[in-house]
Structures are given as structure tokens and as C-alpha cells.
Structure 1
């Protein structure tokens, strides 16, 4: 598949990591997606695909879907031909674009029309008439710019400011240090994070830390797990092993075996975190 993505122009880049277009025949039809530090919008322009979680009924994605930050893995089952446009929001970045509470989107799949009434289908129709990925990205960026709240929701500036510290430090800053530096109590910071990201700063930090680790693994070579774990901020190997299994469904050794047997598409960014599902 071809992945074309770009970081949007300011001020959208304060809230969005990238807007992307995914097109083509997938090398792996089933992909396990571990928790990553982002909320997401999918606009499906191709055949329906399915998302599955172990404790919930499968969700058929025929149009558009929003989901908040994911704290558990899920499986995507692609059709034979894929065409979709997506937005990776920063963990707190979806807040100024929707009127839905972040806690209502966390670990949930919500139809785009339920979040953007009468607008999601209009956007999908506009995108469906386009053949250029660059033009599709421009249209989505235009829609997002029009929907960006003129006044930031209360507390978002605090979450954005401290969230960027977490992002830059890959989740290794103690939450107590965050609240002290911001001049607020830990309870106040946690409440604001739950309001705008759907979860506490401690859980956001965990996901950033795991993302740094999993994106640093090169399965083609020797992997020194203790060293990678230490550099990512894990100082307890037992805790690292448990979290790795919870987030990926595999032990570190099993993960390497899978990635070596079913390698990612060369130069395909989404495969840096998601992995083929057996």
C-alpha cells in the first residue's frame, strides 16, 4: 500500500501529528494495532474493513469513525483494496474539533456522523471524487481548519503545554514533576487530562513510553531488550515484560519471531507500530 502523509500547517500542527492517505493492496490483510499516543479519525473511501477487540463485537467500517486514545490493542482486517484518509490527533488534540467528551471516545469506535452530524458524509463525498492523495489531504486539512474552535476549551492550554513535555520526553517525566512545573495540583492536572485526552497524564506517559520502545525495535538485527527498555524508561524488567505482552499480545521474543517471519512493507510508516496478526 502507498502511505502519503503530512503534518498540517499551523495552528493545526499543535493538535495533529499528521493527515494521511492510505491506498492500495495490503501486504498483510490483518494487522494488530497496539496502543499509540493518538486519537484518530478514519474516512473510508474503499470497501468496508473490520476492527476487532477481544471483549467487544466487531465493528464494520464502511464510512467514517472517530476513536479516542486507545489503551488496549485491536485488530484491523483490511479488504483486498484499501482507500482511506485518516487523521492522527495528538492525545489531547481532538478536543477543539468535537463536542464529545474525550472519555466518551477513549477505547470506543464512534461513527463520524454521530460526532460531526451531516458533515462527515459530505466530507466523504468530496474526497470520493478526488484521485490525488495531495488534494485529499488538502480537503481534510481545510475541513479541520474550519472546525477548529476559535477559543480553546477550558483547561486545554494546560494539557497541551504539559502534554508536549510528555511527548518530547517520550513519557519519562514523572507526573509529579509535570504538575509542579505547571504550578497546579496533581489532581487538577489529572482532571484536565481526563477532560481533554480521556485519560490521566500517567496513562498518557505509559503509552508514549511504550511507543518510543516499539518504534525503536529493528527486527532485522540483534535486539538488546534490556537496553531498549532502559532507554525507554523501563527500570523494572518484569513490569516491562508484562506491559509489552498487554500492549502487543506477544512476549518480546515472540514479537521478534512474528516480525521476522512476516516483515513489514519497506518504507511503510504504519507498520512501525502495528504488526501482522496471525
Structure 2
């Protein structure tokens, strides 16, 4: 069973939603999710079956505890089998920054234990979430993050620069971001390192990839060269190279697979969440689980 819950109003600029996955008693769940690069983070409270996290085209690791799957620059595959119970927090791009006391850079591409990022108090939250229902869990998560929310001048500068980069689909120079944020290029670089773990140029690559992916899936008749140009790539070869790095596949494999009524700021993932022994592939958007399609993103 999948359920989504919005965060408190004052958290919605930073947290997309809370997502819950639970199995029916006696049910044997088979889960596979291919997660494209989007530079977002998920906090995952995993209460039952361990899962395997594989870098597509690389190595893998087993996870039997909760973790923060921090923003990364490689596509990953999540494999989970058996009894599944997960409570997840899906952050917006850059949304993790106001809840941490230190730079996010050391955690980029990693899966640290939650207390290393949020402090020991999150273990108490995890313990409480084990025994509470859906609505109570959402209220507890709200309370935790409202208590940690820190907004200051540096955060405001970071948000202005990031908003400008997103609005430009990643095609904004650092000097231009600095002008928008009323700051210096050097300060903007520092704020991105602290708040996202990546420089603006790298975040821009991710945004251009997502822009191209959306066009491929919504308008499959557009030639690849035009898709590349529309997304701001210098040439088609550069586009194909970045696409492979961030998705694990090639552009032609993703034509025309964008589902209806999907949020515009999400890149789809290839998702399987069925009870069959040999389940068919399903394509879904890279958000938390969606009950309409029986698929979803598991960070």
C-alpha cells in the first residue's frame, strides 16, 4: 500500500512530501526501481526487509537500516524483496540545506546514517515512527523538521541563485546567478557546495538532462539533435554522453513514455513494484510511490 502526505505549509518550499510504503500481512513484495539523477535527496526510514542499492553500471551495497540517500550524480537501482515498510521524506532540489548544521558536500553520493546528518534526535523520531499510524507519523515528521528549520541571509541568497538556475533550465552562468542573488560568484559557489554538495555548473548539467528527458517523453517525434539544442547542449554527442551518465541508458529508449498528470519538475524512472516473480517493466515518474501505477521512487 502506498500513501502520500504533504508536509506542513511552512516546509513545502523544501520538502515535496512524505511517502509511505507498507505490505499487506503475508504479502511477498518484489520491488525494483531505477532512479535517474535529479540531485535531490530522500530520507528513508526502513523498518523491515533490507534492500540492495546498486549504481547502474557499477557496484552495490546492502542496506538494512535507515539512511539519507543524498543527492548523487549516478543513476541507481533499488531492489527489495519480502516484507516492506518504509517511511520516506522527499526533499526538493536544494531542500535539505536549511535542516542541516553543516555542509552537505561530505554526504553527496553517499547514504549516511540519519543521525550523522540530523543529529541524535532523529533516532527518537525513527523509534516513534515504528509504532504510529499514517497521520500521526506525518505530524511527527512535521514537528521534527519544523524544529530544525533554519532560515538566514545565506540561505536566502542560496535560494535566489538556485531559483534562477532552475528557471533557466541550468543555462545560467555563475556570474549571472551572482547578480540575481546580489552576491559574488565565489560566494554563490560556496553556497552551492554547502547546500547541494555540487557547484552550479554541475547542477546545471542535471537540470539540462531533466529538460531533455521531459521533451523526449512528452514529444517523441522531435529529432535528438533538436532535443539536445532545446536543452542547451552544444552538440548531440555531448547530450548522449550526459544522458547515459545520468540515466544509465540512451535517449532513444525513453521516447514517448511520460505518463499523464505527472508533476512537471520530475524526471520519470523505470519502476517495477508488483507481486509477480518475474514482473514486467513499468515506467513512472521519479517521485514517491503512486497508487495509480503501482510504482514509485524509493530513494
Separation in 2, partners of 1:215, 1:88: 20
Separation in 1, partners of 2:97, 2:235: 34
- With normalisation by structure 2, the TM-score equals 0.76
Separation in 2, partners of 1:123, 1:170: 36
2:251 is aligned to 252
Q: Higher helix share goes to which structure? A: 1
SS in 2 for 1:38: coil
Equivalent position to 2:42, from 34, 40, 47:
40
Separation in 2, partners of 1:45, 1:174: 43
Matches within 5 A, 1:123-134: 123-132=125-134, 134=135
Separation in 2, partners of 1:82, 1:232: 38
1:161 is aligned to 160
Give the C-alpha shift of residue 242 in structure 1.
Answer: 0.6
1:138 is aligned to 139
| Distance change >3 Å, CA 120–CA 50, structure 1 → 2 | farther
1:224 is aligned to 222
Matches within 5 A, 1:202-221: 202-218=201-217
Greater shift, 163-172 or 39-48, is seen at: 163-172
Give the C-alpha shift of residue 13 in structure 1.
Answer: 2.0
Matched length: 267
- Taking only aligned residues, the RMSD between alpha carbons, in angstroms, comes to 3.2
Equivalent position to 2:107, from 99, 105, 113:
105
Greater shift, 241-250 or 86-95, is seen at: 86-95
Give the C-alpha shift of residue 253 in structure 1.
Answer: 2.5
SS in 1 for 2:82: coil
SS in 1 for 2:239: helix
Separation in 2, partners of 1:125, 1:203: 37
SS in 2 for 1:14: coil
| Distance change >3 Å, CA 101–CA 157, structure 1 → 2 | same
1:4 is aligned to 4
Matches within 5 A, 1:50-65: 50-53=52-55, 55=58, 58-60=61-63, 62-65=64-67
* 1:91 maps onto 2:93 in alignment: yes
Separation in 1, partners of 2:190, 2:109: 18
Give the C-alpha shift of residue 146 in structure 1.
Answer: 1.4
2:169 is aligned to 170
Would the aligned equivalents of 1:190 and 1:200 in 2 still touch at CA under 8 Å? yes
- With normalisation by structure 1, the TM-score equals 0.81
Would the aligned equivalents of 1:37 and 1:90 in 2 still touch at CA under 8 Å? no
Unaligned runs of 5+ in 2: 258-268, 272-279, 285-289
Unaligned runs of 5+ in 1: none
